[in-house]
Chains A and B, each alone.
Chain A
Amino acid sequence: MTARPFEARSMGTALDRVDGREKVTGRATYAVEHDADLDEAPLHAWLVTSTTASGRVLRVDAAEALAHPHVVTVLDHTNAPRLADTEDRELAVLQDDRIGFRGQIVAVVLAETSEAAREGARLVRVHQEAADASVSLDGAETYAPEEANGGFEAATDQGDFDAAWAAAPVQLEQTYSTPLEFNNPMEPHAATALWRDGSLTLWDSTQAVHGVASTLAPMLGISQDRVRVQAPYIGGGFGSKGLPHGPEMAVALAARWADGRPVKLAVTRQQMFGLTGYRTRTVSHLRIGAEPDGRITALEHAAVGQSSAVKEFVEQTAVPARMMYAASSLRTSHRVAALDVAVPSWMRAPGEMPGMFALEVAMDDLAEATGIDPIELRERNEPEVDPETGNPYNNRRLVECLHRGADLFGWQDRPAEPRATLDGDWWVGTGVASATYPASFAPGNTARIIALDGGRYEVSIGAVDLGTGSRTVLLQIAADALGVDPEAIDLALADTDLPMATVAGGSSGTSSWGTAIAQTAQQFRADHGEHPDPGVETTTTTDGYPSTDHALHSFGAVFAEARVHRLTGEVRVPRLLGVYSVGRVINPMTARSQLLGGLTMGLSAALFEDAYQDPRFGHVVTQDLASYHVAAHADVRDLQVEWLDDVDELATPMGSRGIGEIGIVGTSAAILNAASHATGVRVRDLPATPDVFSS
């Protein structure tokens, strides 16, 4: 059976987070806070990383480190346990002498204390032979990848773009770029590992316990049931903890070496800039041909990005342009350069974030070129069907979001001309951008329900709550699907001993896990009725949710006010508003926080986030939170979110769509559009730092 829509009782209410007390007291236990679960004091691991960008390790001289009190061993490529499979070079840690980027793991120090491990790492001498390295996207050779992240086609071509472009009365051709951005969850990537009796136990800071087990096990040459991964609390991830990275393998190998003794590894904040993924720089070349009334006739989004020679990652930057606006001819492409740099990965809304930044600033450029109000311009380019597939949309409510936001924000009072308002020393302007994110659904999730005494139920799925509120929201879904109160549910999550769950990522978690829970609850009732005997159980796995020939996406409209100092160029954002259509909101409190968090990260990207690379070695030199700026409390002023009353039962039986990522989409564009409106200076590159406006 597949799941059917069901009645919302707890869904739609602001049930308190079930883990709030643990979090506000600090008693929640994160990845290296499980000493109480260990029967022996753990060893402390510290990573030693390469200082050349390309080449090989000649020799690791550990003599001084080993002589340091409490240092137990130094593992390098000559003495670390061997892996059965080394094809994935990011994860094949300490398996050979090759250096693929500066910051790569070349040794691991194990010690009785963290102080000794850290000092030991400082004392390890790594003799390296440097080879020529290519570390900059500028001028680098690029290639057309086979596909982009998410399995998307790398290039598409509909209609006759060249002819439509040539014939267009209005032609806009511009380049937009986003810099290297780093997820920087507050909890550094970390894990506690225990290798005992040929099995590995990991307490990991991961968004996918089953994903870690299924990736590491074959590389370690053991069956997946010999790898247990638990992640009860995760201090944020935003994608960087979606896939395992080198440090997880490093601690697994260290534990294998220590055989029987647990090992703890916390990656330092500095090392996270080389070892745990990031958003690549993106350069988007857009050509938009339009009629004088603003209707787009030709749209081309050619995205150039950067990947790593160690492992390919292609940010799907041009993908949102395929469905966002009506254009009879539409061409998109991706090219990347494989550089000798750290491996990029997922960061909140890969593709949509940089792609919609480019497209939505371009729409503001087009509004300016045609003299049409930015909201009206977007309305005129609303597609009747999904431009990519030709399928009808279900619930495409972008225009309603724009109108509702315009009312709330006071858009009608906006001067049409830029550089129209000077308030003291501050130029004031407003801007808007659209947001979108697909309704993602991952099949293959399994949930188990067991009847307990006293009308209670145990609901289990290996899903991870990376901090968003899944533990609370899944409880609400389970309760409604079973037709009981949330208090009657014992929910177990985040352990590979529980049924298989896909990653908390791509805004797919609640949709995919919730559907598995709903399907299992409905099957449970069919099997066991309303008054089951304690002990009876049902387990089901989703193949999918009834397929639809509709295009399923969430939409939103982001409005920003920007103030730019006329002398210093400092940018402030006193107001930011997002109005969204995301299907049913299962928990208004956690959803609001998640959307506000997305807006905050978008504001952070708009004004601050930029990683500076050393041009010789390609590593990030702004590798901490003092030099890689993220939004602090005083940067965030009046933030508001609202959503349309929505239920989308074509997307999921809960009527919901994912909300984890849409909040960051379009936000940076809205802010830069507002800053341009304030100053008359068009900015097409993130971030909009003061120097851009003060020249």
Chain B
Amino acid sequence: MEHTVSLRIDGVDQEVSVDTRTTLLDALRERVGNTSPKKGCDHGQCGSCTVLLDGRRHLTCLALAVAYDGAEIVTASGLAGEGDDGELHPVQQAFLAHDGYQCGYCTPGQVCSAVGVIDEAKRGQPSHVTDDLEADIDLDDDEIRERMSGNLCRCGAYVGILDAVREAAAR
């Protein structure tokens, strides 16, 4: 059964016709034509499909599109300016500077996740490795590794990703 949902995707309002079974990921990839979020597992296990959904990082493969009428979605593509010269988000610049990727397939999800992580830390949200739940969050290496662990990278670019997130967080 088809439904229409209103989504603001990378700054553009769109009416998207979806099946009730359509995930947000498939809505973006197959119905909108935005393939920036990637499908690595379709089960919420790899993080490749991460976007910013109403400002927070979210797995789009575990979200049914019909449940998100009116949502604002920012993909890794939307974090950057348009075209070949559009300005990159500081997190994206840091991924380039520290070679925080190889094949690039998990990368858009890593980038969105990193943007979310930096914001979560600023807002004082603790993680599994936060010792003092009252104090401001110090986004140190252990915190970054822990918070980025929902995004798998089989090329093994974690060392570069850590360096990139650390640098972007310090800006």
Contact = CB atoms under 8 A, between A and B. Distances in A.
Interface of A: 16-17, 19-30, 33, 35-36, 113-116, 119, 183-188, 233-236, 238, 266, 268-269, 466-469, 589-590, 592-594, 596-601, 604, 624-626, 630-634, 636-637, 639
Contacts of A631: 156, 158
B40 interface: yes
A114 B88 contact: no
The 5 closest A-B pairs by CB, nearest first: A467-B103, A26-B36, A235-B105, A600-B156, A23-B104
Interface stretch (B77-85, B118-126, B131-139): B77-85
B60 interface: no
Question: How many B residues touch the partner, as a band?
Answer: 35 or more
B112 to A, nearest CB: 9
B35 A26 contact: yes
A26 B103 contact: no
A114 B26 contact: yes
B153 interface: yes
10 contacts: A23-B104, A24-B92, A24-B104, A25-B88, A30-B35, A36-B33, A186-B38, A468-B103, A624-B41, A634-B148
Contacts of B102: 236, 467-469, 590, 593-594, 597
B3 to A, nearest CB: 12
Nearest to A187: B105
B37 A597 contact: no
Interface in B150-166: 150-162
Contact of A26 (B107, B157, B161): B107
Contacts of B103: 23, 185-187, 233-236, 466-468
A594 B159 CA distance: 11
A600 B99 contact: no
Interface string B46-78: 101000000000000000000000000001110
Nearest to A19: B104
B91 to A, nearest CB: 8
Nearest to B80: A25
A593 B19 contact: no
A92 to B, nearest CB: 28
Interface of B: 19, 21-22, 26, 29-30, 33, 35-43, 45-46, 48, 75-77, 79-80, 84, 88, 92, 95-96, 99, 101-108, 111, 144-146, 148-162
Nearest to B155: A597
Nearest to A596: B159
A597 B156 CA distance: 4
A347 to B, nearest CB: 12
B78 to A, nearest CB: 9
Given A186-B46, A633-B151, A24 B40 contact: no
Nearest to A601: B156
B99 A114 contact: no
Given A21-B80, A24-B92, A25-B80, 5 more contacts: A266-B39, A594-B102, A624-B41, A625-B40, A637-B145
A50 B149 CA distance: 34
Nearest to B1: A69
Nearest to B153: A186
B43 A186 contact: no
A34 to B, nearest CB: 9
Contacts of B33: 35-36
A14 to B, nearest CB: 9
Given A235-B104, A596-B159, A633 B149 contact: yes
A55 to B, nearest CB: 30
A597 B159 CA distance: 9
B45 A624 contact: yes
Contact of B149 (A26, A624, A632): A632
A570 B158 CA distance: 21
A590 B107 CA distance: 16
A21 B84 contact: yes
Contacts of B84: 21
A27 B105 contact: no
B162 A115 contact: no
A238 B106 CA distance: 15
A116 B145 CA distance: 39
Given A26-B77, A27-B36, A115-B26, A269 B42 contact: yes
A632 B37 contact: no
A113 B18 CA distance: 10
A185 B22 CA distance: 25
B99 to A, nearest CB: 5
A633 B143 CA distance: 11
Contacts of A598: 156
Contacts of A590: 99, 102
Contact of A33 (B35, B43, B99, B153): B35
Which of A22, A113, A593, A633 has the most C-beta atoms of chain B within 10 angstroms of its own C-beta? A633
Contacts of A28: 104
Nearest to A600: B156
Given A236-B102, A596-B159, A26 B75 contact: yes
B120 to A, nearest CB: 15
Contact of B92 (A25, A466, A626): A25
Given A21-B84, A624-B45, A233 B104 contact: yes
B62 to A, nearest CB: 12
A588 to B, nearest CB: 10
B83 to A, nearest CB: 10
Nearest to A597: B156
Contacts of A266: 39
Which of B22, B99, B146, B153 has the most C-beta atoms of chain A within 10 angstroms of its own C-beta? B99
B101 A119 contact: no
A570 to B, nearest CB: 15
A268 B42 contact: yes
A551 to B, nearest CB: 29
A612 to B, nearest CB: 17
Contacts of B41: 269, 624-625
B115 to A, nearest CB: 12
Contacts of B42: 268-269
Contacts of A24: 76, 80, 88, 92, 95-96, 101, 104, 107-108, 111
